[in-house]
């Protein structure tokens, strides 16, 4: 007889156990992921947690973002807002609902903006535009400040509030621009270039430019991450301070600017001295100056008293000087008379010595010696000329004896061919050749008939 097989009965689970196992399965299977969609049914109860539905045209999913996470994001979801969120896949055991536990959220498309930000940041860093050595120091004192921002935003209000408190004497020139939108970047560049042009033309005398705006999302701040704005800041002849968004926001404009302010208020404090510090320093300087002046006055009083004691009546001084002048005059006259006597005696002595050494005798002796030398020179020149003439005649005779002209005068001649070469052998010519014959007097042209 066959026995029927026995199958093991599966364990029976409670609903809670089933949901717990499903949650564990989901959480272990999925890692962190990014999901994009549109917000609906947003709720923010008193607990501080956020609950909403993320949907697209085909489906929807419940989402939860707990307080310890949502307090670190700048974006608050709103119904109809397109967002991108980083989350874990889970399941709410109480109702058995599939849901996403959100860790971070941002505007849809913010990821592409972040990638573009990083590409431009790396490009400009490679060009050295972030280097501290390229950036200019701010002036020690800012008297006139150009502010490039929205005239209606919170940034200009914060800047003016700080400056009124710290340094109300600073002159402010507002260059109004939109700080977000399609035209914002171009208008910010135009404002920077305009301020520099006015400075060159002498229309303004600005010390620093402040480029600023309040906080917002990456998309809101994007005008300050445009390359044209970065290039305009680098090209500015005026030093530029950038203060864009909150302290945690770092824009491309912040990185290329000569100085960064963490917030618009922080930038205003950076550019303005504290009036209270100036007042305290002025009081210290005033006290120091007063003390030094008192010391100087006491020294001057002591010197004046000393001089007063040494000062004599001018009448006594004049009488003493007059007497001294008379004495000097008498001494001068005596010295002049003695000098004249000495000079007169010396002149007489020199005159007698000069007379004794008169050059007339010496001149006569030299004249006689010159006459004798002149006679000897004439005799010597005549003898030398006669010897030269005799030697010239002898050499002329010798030259005539060896001259070829003398040989020609005895009936000889010199034959040369057409090249001017002397013919010494009859074999050197041929019948028909023309020869030149030089005689003692004259020259003949000959033709060889026979040899």
* Residue range 168-211, pLDDT digits in tens: 888 889 999 998 888 888 999 999 999 999 999 999 899 899 99
Tell me whether residue 383 is in a domain: no
Nearest residue to 101 (alpha-carbon basis) of 16, 23, 22:
23
Which pLDDT score, from 0 to 100, does residue 434 have? Answer: 84
Same domain, 150 and 228: yes
Give the distance, in angstroms, between the CA of residue 39 and the centroid of all CA atoms in the same chain. Answer: 54
Which pLDDT score, from 0 to 100, does residue 6 have? Answer: 56
pTM above 0.75, yes or no: no
Cross-strand bridge partners of residue 157: none
Query: Does the structure show a pLDDT above 70 at 4?
Result: no
Beta strands in 112-246 (DSSP E): 144-149, 171-176, 208-213, 240-244
Nearest residue to 82 (alpha-carbon basis) of 124, 37, 139, 35:
37
Domain containing 431 equals 408-447
Tell me whether residue 64 is in a domain: yes
314: burial class by Cβ within 10 Å (0-12, 13-18, 19+)? Answer: exposed
Tell me whether residue 389 is in a domain: no
Residue that terminates a domain, selected from 57, 73, 108: 108
For CA atoms 84, 86, 91, 94, give the dihedral sign. negative
Query: Does the structure show a pLDDT above 70 at 442?
Result: yes
Residue that terminates a domain, selected from 272, 298, 328: 272
DSSP category for residue 223 = G
Same domain, 49 and 184: no
Q: Which two tokens stand for residue 11?
A: 């364990």
* CATH number of 201's domain: 3.40.50.261
Same domain, 96 and 129: no
Same domain, 239 and 163: yes
Q: Distance between CA atoms of 121 and 123, rounded to whole angstroms? A: 5
Q: Distance between CA atoms of 170 and 144, rounded to whole angstroms? A: 6
Mean pLDDT of 112-139: 84
Q: Which two tokens stand for residue 434?
A: 């023309």
Which pLDDT score, from 0 to 100, does residue 169 have? Answer: 80
Residue that terminates a domain, selected from 87, 108, 129: 108
Query: Does the structure show a pLDDT above 90 at 430?
Result: no
Roughly what angle, to the nearest 10 degrees, separates helices 184-201 and 227-235? 10
Count other Cβ atoms within 10 Å, centred on residue 403: 11
- Mean of the per-residue pLDDT values of the chain: 84
CB 405 within 8 A of CB 438: no
Q: Distance between CA atoms of 10 and 298, rounded to whole angstroms? A: 111
Kindly report the length of the chain: 451
Domain count, the chain: 3
Same domain, 205 and 126: yes
């Amino acid at each position: 007889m066959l026995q029927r097989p026995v199958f093991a009965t599966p364990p029976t689970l409670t609903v809670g156990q089933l949901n717990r196992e499903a949650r564990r399965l989901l959480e272990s299977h999925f890692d962190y992921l990014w999901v994009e969609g549109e917000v609906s049914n947003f709720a923010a109860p008193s607990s501080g947690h956020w609950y909403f539905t993320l949907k697209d045209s085909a489906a929807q999913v419940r989402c939860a973002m707990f307080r310890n996470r949502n307090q670190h994001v700048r974006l608050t979801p709103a119904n109809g807002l397109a967002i991108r969120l980083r989350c874990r896949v889970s399941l709410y055991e109480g109702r058995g609902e599939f849901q996403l536990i959100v860790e971070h959220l941002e505007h849809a498309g913010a990821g592409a903006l972040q990638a573009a930000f990083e590409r431009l940041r790396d490009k400009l860093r490679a060009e050295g535009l972030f280097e501290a050595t390229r950036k200019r120091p701010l002036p020690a004192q800012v008297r006139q400040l150009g502010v490039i921002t929205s005239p209606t935003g919170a940034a200009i209000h914060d800047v003016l509030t700080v400056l009124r408190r710290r340094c109300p004497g600073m002159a402010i020139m507002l260059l109004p621009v939109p700080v977000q939108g399609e035209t914002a970047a171009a208008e910010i560049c135009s404002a920077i270039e305009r301020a520099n042009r006015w400075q060159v033309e002498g229309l303004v005398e600005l010390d620093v430019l402040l480029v600023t705006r309040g906080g917002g999302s990456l998309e809101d701040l994007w005008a300050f991450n445009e390359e044209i704005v970065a290039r305009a800041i680098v090209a500015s002849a005026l030093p530029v301070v950038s203060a864009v968004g909150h302290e945690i926001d770092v824009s491309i404009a912040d990185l290329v600017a000569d100085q960064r302010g963490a917030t618009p208020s922080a930038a205003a404090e950076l550019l303005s001295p504290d009036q209270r510090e100036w007042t305290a320093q002025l009081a210290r300087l005033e006290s120091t100056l007063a003390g030094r002046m008192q010391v100087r006055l006491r020294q001057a009083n002591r010197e004046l008293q000393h001089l007063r004691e040494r000062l004599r009546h001018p009448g006594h001084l004049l009488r003493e000087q007059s007497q001294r002048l008379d004495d000097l005059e008498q001494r001068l006259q005596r010295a002049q008379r003695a000098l004249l006597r000495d000079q007169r005696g010396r002149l007489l002595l020199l005159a007698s010595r000069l007379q004794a050494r008169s050059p007339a005798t010496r001149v006569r002796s030299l004249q006689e010696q010159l006459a004798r030398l002149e006679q000897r020179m004439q005799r010597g020149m005549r003898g030398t000329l006669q010897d030269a003439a005799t030697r010239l005649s002898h050499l002329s005779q010798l030259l005539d004896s060896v001259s070829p002209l003398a040989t020609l005068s005895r009936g000889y001649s010199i034959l040369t061919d057409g090249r001017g070469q002397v013919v010494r052998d009859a074999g050197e010519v041929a019948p028909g050749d023309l020869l030149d014959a030089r005689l003692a007097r004259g020259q003949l042209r000959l033709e060889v008939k026979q040899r």
